[in-house]
Structure 1
Amino acid sequence: MSTRDTSKSEDPIIESRDQLVAPMQAGEKPKSDWRIGTEHEKLVYKRDDFHAPSHDEPCGIRDLLLALQEFGWKPVEENGHVIAMSGDDGTVSLEPAGQLELSGAPLENLHQTCAETGRHLEQVKAIGDKCGVGFLGLGMWPDKTREELPIMPKGRYDIMLRHMPRVGDLGLDMMLRTCTIQVNLDYSSEIDMAKKFRTSLALQPLATALFANSPFTEGKPNGYLSYRSHIWSDTDPHRTGMLPFVFDEDFGYERYVDYMLDVPMYFVFRDGKYIDAAGHSFRDFLKGELAVLPGEKPREGDWWDHLSTAFPEVRLKSFLEMRGADGGPWSRICALPAFWVGILYDQTALDASWDLVKDWTMEEREELRNAVPKLALDAPIPGGRILRDLAKEVLAISRAGLASRARLNTSGDNETGFLETLDEIVASGKVPAQRLLDRYHGEWGGDIKRIYKYSF
């Protein structure tokens, strides 16, 4: 989730609709400038008793962040609290209950992306070894209740925590108990954006299935393979889901702006503080009729903030965010950007991927999205097949797309090797969550604490 440490009060006031479309238009780049931005979250625990550390306790989240100064990172503060660290590899920030996130730098190829991931994990592991802290690569806390988790000192989280129970039953679980891997990718034009959005949105359930890694809640199997994905179905219907309008022929920037104007606000950032505007309308704000700031009109920074508060399966800002995957260990962090780059950054692969799903109805897309959290690769798809069958085809397309890019490392290897962990999942038919369940019912003897041995 976005980290902000300065006021945007100097931004221009929004006077025209063109300023609302501008962030999306500003994302257009020639193919030579397309980059890969990878984000991944991890669960943090104390090794002595497995509790989730608070922000302020010794060797807690604040101390973990500050310890990154040893590796050249610099603190970012909000109201006197360290909430993030910035550096050459992007930003390390905290999520609502202390989940630690790396929002990586925009990089040219997957070799750089995976090296960045490796550096980050080596750094936090080194710090964790000194502090008695460990990290879990999962989609959701396997054993913690909401009440057992700390709350981080970040203004926007206070507002969201108050608002979530008003609009859904599982929003607090989303904030406090889940982790994800995401990748942010570029487009060259409005037409290119629209095709990439449609294709990735239709295939997002496949990514959810391949990375399904959240089968436990409060120490027991929860009946799902990706409970994290299920949580999004009851978080906030105004800002989540499959966005049917993306599949309309006339979809483009303007239509996404209309969608975002219909998404209720969370906050306005002024003078270093978050003002609660939860449930209010950005359309009213544009007219100077926002109740919490009467007479004031939004600035461009307010619109950028608002764009970060919608949570559909794919999100558009000045790039496209792939949002379907559960958190996982090192090898799968590298696999997610490989999967999407192979599909979306090669025109032949993009066309072939869209051809596989373009004839599905919106009802069929919704049915698949709803089936995947429980069934993963066994979910039915149109044509009397299952998602595993489609996975084989899509992985072949992604592999061809990566091979066509011909981005080589110093050993002469291209980027296709990053898909190997996904090839193994599809070949076995077992997603990560199913392997965890096998251990739980087998060698672990129903003891969920054994999962802490399977950290990064």
Structure 2
Amino acid sequence: MSNPGAHNSTVIESFDQMVAILAAGARPRSEWRIGTEHEKFGFVRPDAATPQRRAWSSPPYAPQGIEALLRGLAAEAGGRRWEEIIDRGALIGLKGLADAKGGSISLEPGGQFELSGAPLVSLHDTRSEMDRHFAAVRPICDRLGIGFAPLGFHPTARRSDIPWMPKSRYAIMRDYMPKVGTLGLDMMLRTCTVQVNLDFGSEADMARKMRVSLALQPVATALFASSPFYEGRPNGYLSNRGRVWTDTDNARAGMPRSFMEDGFSFATYVDWLLDVPMYFVTRDDRLIDVAGCSFRDWLAGRCPPGLEGTRPTIGDFEDHMTTAFPDVRLKQFLEMRGADAGSPAMMLAQSALWTGLLYDDATVHAAEKLVLEHGWDDYIAIRGAVPRTGLDTPWGQGTLRPLAARMIELATDGLRARNIRDAQGHDETRYLAPLHEIAAGGPTQAEAWLAAYHGRWKGDVTHIFAEAAV
């Protein structure tokens, strides 16, 4: 989840002001970029375990934990690469400077460590950024006796095992989540995702990309499933992270039907967002708990307790946008949010899949035709099924695997059309290789982990930490 930022105090006087925030994201093709965000679970290494720090347990915020890692990174390049982000005296993130400008590092509620990558020209740049991040984190982790593994759902920990990070908004969400779903605290503490952020050229381009990517997001959940374990054992799901999102807070999550209808626009999204319950409002560097009140009511003068005499600002609306969690989220770009975190190769493949599908005109038109072969109810229905059955989920006269294969072939065409090559002459299609293997019948990450659990691990899921470590 994003770090706190500068607050725009301009008072909202009209609906059009909010629409304009989104419309300002439209960019010419020459300025389209790729931003990859990925999360990972921390763990205490066995060689550094003590009675207070059990092997494979989640590291604390402090001491010798997440805070120390942040401080170690902040000192990188003599302190010239990252700026510290402080929340009520606690270090809770880093803002990129110099060659890291445009990127940030933030903490999810349970200490999941997130790199929000800078907007980059190519997937080759994304790979380099990811490599630099892991190379910077590893030596600090070695000193602290911790490691990180990107997986969709924590394979061993109970909720009570995981420490909460000292980020103000998480205290508000922690209290509110159990009121609106049964799995919201699991989402906060025990899930990790990878997402890619992509640009649009106009309102019509945004709507087309939203329609394609939202419909196909469940297929991505199946392709990238990597969370088949719950508290040390298989629990019948391939993407336990995907299952969690079916009952987290459905007023702000999922596949809203209005996003799929003809005429979807920036105004449609704003209209939906106004009825999403708020979490908090920021005033004087202080968060005011307004959980459950809609932004629409506040605009209409029905002030929630604690906000008497205040008026909503552009900054308040921008904060509110970050607390909506549809499977594809619209800001001044589109966020693809349906995939489990996984291996670095699979995280790159996720960015490659959506870049290939959405950044070439002929390909995105072909993808839209593919999507329109089925009705929207079919896509909404498979969202609830794929966490358990993955690519074997029934679809048409068969399963989802052929649809996934068609997606991957289209993405290959799109990346080939971009024709952006690295120093060795390779184009970006190379990053789709793991997906081609899965589409051809190979195991997903979740299926490979389950085979290891029933085979060489002999039922001991803790082996996953060493094998998944980055």
Structure 2 length-normalised TM: 0.94
Pick the aligned partner of 1:12 from 10, 13, 16: 10
Q: Partner residue of 1:305?
A: 319
Q: Is 1:375–2:373 an aligned residue pair?
A: no
User: Which structure 2 residues correspond to residues 2-401 of structure 1 after superposition, within 5 A?
Assistant: 2-6=2-6, 8=7, 11-48=9-46, 49-57=55-63, 59-71=64-76, 72-87=81-96, 88-89=99-100, 90-291=103-304, 292-382=306-396, 384-401=397-414
Looking at structure 2, the residues matched to 185 and 306 of structure 1 have their Cα atoms a distance apart, in angstroms, of 20
Residue identity opposite 1:128 in structure 2: C
1:421 has 2:434 as partner: yes
Offset of residue 295 of structure 1: 2.0
The alpha carbon displacement at 1:276 in A equals 0.4
Give 1:96's aligned amino acid. P
Q: Report if aligned partners of 1:377, 1:388 keep a CA contact under 8 Å in 2.
A: yes
Opposite residue 209 of structure 2, the aligned amino acid is: K
Identity %: 49
1: CA distance, partners of 2:373 / 2:439: 24
Distance apart, 1:53 and its partner CA: 1.4
Answer yes or no: is the 8 Å Cα contact 2:228–2:446 preserved in 1.
yes
Matching residue's letter, 1:296: T
Work out the CA distance in 2 between the residues paired with 1:269 and 1:381: 45
**Residue 117 (structure 1) shift:** 0.7
Q: Deviations along 1:372-414, whole A, 9 cap, x unmatched?
A: 11111111113x1211111111111100100100111111111
Aligned residues: 452
Q: Is the 8 A contact 2:33 2:119 kept in 1?
A: yes
Q: What amino acid sits opposite 1:200 in the alignment?
A: S
Deviation at 1:74, TM superposition (A): 2.3
TM superposition outliers: structure 1 runs of 4+ over 4 Å:
none
- SS at the partner of 1:325? strand
8 Å CA contact 2:352, 2:429 repeated in 1: yes
Give the match's secondary structure for 1:85: strand
Provide the rounded CA distance (Å) in 2 between the counterparts of 1:298 and 1:343: 37
> Which residue type is aligned with residue 19 of structure 2?
V
The whole-number CA distance in structure 2 between the counterparts of 1:315 and 1:452 is 30
Structure 1 residue identity aligned to 2:423: T
Once the two structures are TM-superposed, the CA of residue 201 in structure 1 deviates from its matched residue by 0.5
| Cα shift at 1:69 | 2.3
2-side partners of 1:348 and 1:121: how far apart? 36
Q: Deviations over 1:296-345 (max 9, x none)?
A: 11110100011111111101011100000001121111111100000000
Residue type of the alignment partner of 2:74: Q
Q: Deviations over 1:123-163 (max 9, x none)?
A: 11121112111111100110000000000001100000000
Instruction: Answer whether contact 1:228 1:326 (CA < 8 A) is retained.
Output: yes
Letter in 2 for 1:276: D
Distance 1:273 1:412 in 2: 51
Would you say the 8 A contact 1:5–1:78 is kept in 2?
no
Report SS of the residue matched to 1:448. coil
Offset, 1:259 = 0.4
Unaligned runs of 5+ in 2: 47-54
Whether the 8 Å CA contact 1:288–1:295 is kept in 2: the answer is no
CA shift at 1:30, angstroms? 0.6
Aligned-residue CA RMSD (Å): 1.1
Contact 2:216 2:379 in 1 (8 A): no
CA distance in 2, matches of 1:125, 1:171: 31
Cα distance in 1, alignment partners of residues 220 and 132 from structure 2: 25
Q: 1:182 & 1:289 partners in 2: Cα distance? A: 36
What code does the residue aligned with 1:356 have? Answer: L
Contact 1:144/1:218 (<8 A) preserved:
yes
Residues 109 and 407 in structure 1, CA contact (< 8 A), matched pair in contact too:
yes
Is the CA contact (8 Å cut-off) linking 1:289 and 1:296 kept in structure 2? no
Letter in 2 for 1:53: P
Comparing 203-212 and 351-360, the one that deviates more: 351-360
**Contact 2:197–2:336 under 8 Å retained in 1:** yes
CA deviation after TM superposition for structure 1 residue 5, in Å: 4.8
SS at match of 1:265: coil
How far did 1:431 drift? 0.9
Q: TM (normalized to structure 1)?
A: 0.97
